[in-house]
Amino acid sequence: MSKFGVTPAKEAELRRRMAACGLEEAQLSEQFIRSGGPGGQKVNRTASGVYLCHKPSGLEVKMQQARSQGLNRFYARRRMCQLLEARQLGEASPEARERERVRKQKERRRRRARKRNKGDDA
């Protein structure tokens, strides 16, 4: 079993991604905080939320997406990788490319809708 409560393949992918963006465990400061929101008494009693700080860059991530501390640790590290990639790669980062793809898709839909509506006026 992995230390984050995910499959070994997902953990290996996270390790590979962390190495690719130069993120090391020694550079991270990790604290556990109480979560809020849905989850009832369980999240109110346990410190399952994760606060992660990358010391060299000063980036901070606070994750309380899941009820499990292990999963939140995994999600926080994955989000930290996303932030570092966005900072290092800029517009070439996977997140930026996805944003651009969605923007183009919406623009195509707007164009088609305008064309349809223009035809209805006649």
Q: At what angle do helices 8-20 and 69-89 cross, to 10 degrees?
A: 30
As given in the structure block, the two tokens for residue 50 are 């994760």
What pLDDT digit, counting tens, does each position of 56-75 carry? 989 999 998 888 899 999 99
Q: What is the CATH number of domain 8-90?
A: 3.30.160.20
pTM of the full structure:
0.75
What pLDDT digit, counting tens, does each position of 41-54 carry? 777 788 889 999 99
Map tokens 């929101």 to a residue. 37
Of all residues in the chain, what percent carry a pLDDT higher than 70?
A: 98
What is the residue-wise DSSP string for 78-111?
A: HHHHHHHHHHHHGGGSHHHHHHHHHHHHHHHHHH
